[in-house]
Amino acid sequence: MKPATKAKALRPVEQTFEETRYLKHLIEKKIPVRVKLADNETVGGIIEYYDQRFIRITRQNEPNLFIFKHDIKYLYEVA
């Protein structure tokens, strides 16, 4: 008789690439977004670019912004 083996707990994957897919979707469709920052300030515009550390928000009649991802609480689409 074989001894019982412990089943290893499966670790969740570290990278799902869903963030990348969602940001690409927002850029391609030029969907306006609002970004809530860590200091509770909210800015809006269209995401034009992103990389591992930041996103670029293009705004009308205001300067464009480069926002570090670690400063973002969340973002959402504006209808």
Element (H, E) at 22: helix 18-29
Name the residue range of residue 50's domain.
Answer: 33-77
**Structural domain contains residue 62:** yes
Kindly report the number of other CB atoms within 10 A of residue 4's CB atom: 6
Q: Report pLDDT digits (tens) over 24-44.
A: 999 999 999 999 999 999 999
**Structural domain contains residue 24:** no
**Structural domain contains residue 69:** yes
**Structural domain contains residue 26:** no
**Structural domain contains residue 39:** yes
Kindly report the number of other CB atoms within 10 A of residue 50's CB atom: 17
CB 47 within 8 A of CB 35: no
**Structural domain contains residue 55:** yes
pLDDT at 10: 82
> Per the structure, how many domains does the chain have?
1
**Structural domain contains residue 5:** no
Q: pTM for the full model?
A: 0.78
Helix, strand, or coil (residue 11) = coil
